[in-house]
Structure 1
Amino acid sequence: MIRTVAVLSKLAMIVAGGSFFSLGLAHAARADEPSAAAAAPPADRGARLNIAPLRIELEAAKTGATVMLTNTSARPLAVQTRLFAWSQEAGEDRFAPSSALTVSPSIISIASGATQIVRVLRTGAASPGEKRFRLAVDQLPDPSLAQTGEAEARLRFTLPVFVDRDKAEPTVLAWRINGTRLELANSGGRTARIMTVALKTTSGTPVPLERNSLRYVLGQSTISWGLASACVTTPVTITAVIDGQTANAQVSPNCG
C-alpha cells in the first residue's frame, strides 16, 4: 500500500483539539479525544458528523465494539468506513489497508438527524500483544452538488483502534536528545499517548519544539521532535502529559 502510506505520512494538521491526517481529501481529521464532533468548512453547506466514541479498545474478552455516527446537518450524508493497520517507521506513522477486523457497514447513507451504528468485530481469537489500527470514516461526495457545479469539501475522521491491549507488556519510555532532536523510545508493548511536551534548561529557559502536538509512540517504536534551536549543552528537564498523567524526566544532551 505504498502510495497510500506515502500520502498519509505527509499530510498532518491540528484542528479543534484533535490531530489530523489525510488521503488527499480537502479536509481531514484524526478524531482523537476530547472532541466528539467535527464540523465541515462553510463551503460544505453545513455538513456535520458527530462520532462517538473517539477511541476503540477491544480487550481480550470482547468480540467487538460499536461506533455511533450522527448526522446533525440538514441534508443526508454518504459515508464510507475503512480499516488501516497502524505502525511506525523511522519515527513516522505508517498506514496500510487491513482486513484483520470486520467493519460493517462499509458504505452508509445517513439521513439528516439520524444515527448509524458501525460495528468493529474480531475475525479471530485474542492473542498476546497489542494490535493497532485506525478506523477511517470518509464523507463521500454529494452527486447533487456536483451537478450544480458547486465544490464540496470532503472530510476524513480517523479513530485509534487498539486490540488486546490488556494482553500486552506495559509501556516503557526513555527520553534522549541527539543533536537537534528530542527522542522518545518505547521499549514496552503498549502504545503511549503524548498530549504535550515542554523542555527547560537548568536555568529555566524554555527549549521550543517543532511539531509539538498530540502524538502516539507505539510499542517497540521511537518518535522524535525537532528542537527549534541548536542542540542545548546543559541538562534539560522534560515535562510531558502521557496517557493523562504528568511525567518529568531529566536528560543530558548528546551534541556530538
Structure 2
Amino acid sequence: MTGAGRTRALRRLGLWLAVASLQVGGAARAGNAVLIWPVDPVITAAQKASELWVENRGTSTTLIQVRVFGWQQRNGTDGYQNQQRVIASPPMLRLEPGQKQVVRLLKQPPPAAGEELAYRILLDEIPTPHLDSQDKTHSVNFQMRYSLPLFVYGERAAPDAGEPLLSWRVVEEGGGVFLEFSNHGSVHARLIQAQFDHHRLSEGLLGYVLPHASYRWPLEGTLARGQQLEFRLDNRDRLWRSGAQQAQ
C-alpha cells in the first residue's frame, strides 16, 4: 500500500472506546461505546480548521470533554502544556444514544512557514450518576480517556513534505535500559512493527518521535552487540534498518 493509500485507510477507521462501569450499592450499568474519527487529524496550511467526529453507539447519554494540549518531547519523554493556538469547538459534548456530533479544531494563529507543530487531543468521558429503575440505587461510570495526535502545518510544510532524520542508541541509565531515538528532521516519525533481529518490540504502533526531539522506550533483557534494529516508518511507508549502536 502506498503512503497516500495508507493515510486514506487510516482516516476511514474509527476508534471504539469501551466505557467500563463501576458497581455501587449492587447496581451496574452497561458500558457505553463511543466512536471517534479520524484517528489521525491534521490541519494543513490551507485549512483554518479540521473536523473530529464523535458518535455515541451506546444505550445511554454520555458527556465528553474535549481539550487540546501542546505536545513536546524533552529528555526522552512526552510533555503537555496548556495552549490557545488550537481550540476545540465545542469543548463539551452531550450525546444521546445514536447521536453524533462534529468537533471543529480551530487554528489560531498558524505555525511559522515550514513548521510542523504537534498537539494532543484529549477526550474525557465525564462520569455521571444514574438512577437504577429496579434497585433504586445509584451507579457511577468509570471515566474513559482517549488521546489523539494532531499535527498542524505552516506554509511550505505538509504531512507528506520533508523527512524524519532518525538516529538511535541504547542507553543504560538509573538501572534501566532504553532504546532512544532522535529525530533531526522537520517532520515527525511514526514507528510501527519494531524488532531487534527476531525479537519483536511492537506488533503495531511503537510510538512517535517529534521533529528536533528524542524519545525513549524501555528495553527488557540484554541487547547483544551486532543485533539489527528494524521497523517501519509508517508515515512514509518505508522499512528502516540499522546495525546496533554502542550502549551509553
User: TM-score interval w.r.t. the shorter chain?
Assistant: 0.7 to 0.9
Aligned to 1:154: 143
Residue identity in the other structure for 2:140? A
CA gap of 1:62–1:210, structure 2 versus 1, over 3 A, is closer
1:52-110 deviations in Å (ceiling 9; x for gaps): 11111111011101111100111111111111110111111111222111211111211
Aligned to 2:210: 218
Match status 1:133 vs 2:133: no
Match status 1:238 vs 2:219: no
Structure 2: distance between partners of 1:92 and 1:211: 21
Aligned to 1:59: 44
Given the alignment, which residue of 160, 164, 167 partners 1:171? 164
Aligned pairs (5 A) from 1:1-256: 36-41=15-20, 43=22, 45-128=30-113, 129-144=115-130, 148-164=137-153, 167=157, 169-179=162-172, 180-200=177-197, 206-207=198-199, 209=201, 214-233=206-225, 235-243=226-234, 245-255=237-247
Structure whose alpha-carbon radius of gyration is higher: 2
CA gap of 1:34–1:241, structure 2 versus 1, over 3 A, is farther
Unpaired runs of 5+ in structure 2? 1-10, 23-28
Q: Secondary structure at the match of 1:194?
A: strand
Q: What TM-score do you get using the length of structure 1 for normalisation?
A: 0.75
Q: Secondary structure at the match of 2:130?
A: helix
CA contact (8 A) 2:194 2:203 kept: no
1:7-32 deviations in Å (ceiling 9; x for gaps): xxxxxxxxxxxxxxxxxxxxxxxxx9
* RMSD (Å) for aligned C-alpha atoms: 2.7
Aligned to 2:7: none
CA gap of 1:68–1:176, structure 2 versus 1, over 3 A, is same
Measured after TM superposition, the shift of residue 42 of structure 1 is 5.5
Measured after TM superposition, the shift of residue 209 of structure 1 is 4.8
Q: What TM-score do you get using the length of structure 2 for normalisation?
A: 0.78
Percent of residue pairs bearing the same amino acid type: 23
Unpaired runs of 5+ in structure 1? 1-31, 201-205
Measured after TM superposition, the shift of residue 210 of structure 1 is 9.1
Structure 2: distance between partners of 1:70 and 1:96: 27
CA contact (8 A) 2:192 2:203 kept: no
